[in-house]
Amino acid sequence: MIKDFIKRHKEIILYVFFGFLTTVVSYVSYFFCKAIGIRYEIATVIAWICSVLFAFVTNKLFVFESKSSKTKTVAKEITMFFGGRIVSLLLELLIMKIGMDFIHAGRLTLFAFGRDLPLGEFLTKTVAGIVVLVTNYIISKFMIFRKKKGGDTDENPCD
């Protein structure tokens, strides 16, 4: 029964697993930048770059199993992947801005990297991460790594 469930939902399970690892990459990058004094806007962009590079490789190879190695196809995939992630970066920045400027009034703190960080910032980053994870899955599945009816990744993801 568990094998059947895993087989039927393999793609989503792998996406969530690698999404979790991507989130870890994002959090570590973000809070490291914050710990060395970088503003949250710049820290968010740096964390985005690190996590998108990690996510492209894991999504292409393991989640959506894109087998194409043609230069033109890979170039289209990576261009569309980064384009989709720019959309989600803007969404994340909007959520962070709202959370940091309007919700972030409390004084609860979280200890990380040897510094007290506002708990509101951690919660805002978490909400942003969940919204971005769902958005990225939809973009990746239906636009970038879509499958042909035969199961292979579409050789021309821009059509």
94-137 confidence digits (pLDDT tens): 988 877 776 555 444 555 555 555 667 778 888 888 898 889 88
Count Cβ atoms within 10 A of the Cβ of residue 42 and give its class: 0-12 exposed, 13-18 middle, 19 or more buried.
Answer: exposed
17-70 confidence digits (pLDDT tens): 998 899 899 999 999 999 999 998 899 889 989 999 999 999 999 998 888 888
pLDDT of residue 159: 41
Which residue pairs, CB below 8 angstroms and at least 24 apart, start in 112-120? 112/31, 112/35, 113/31, 113/32, 113/34, 113/35, 114/35, 115/34, 115/35, 117/31, 117/34
The model carries a pTM of 0.64
Pull the structure tokens for residue 80: 């569309």
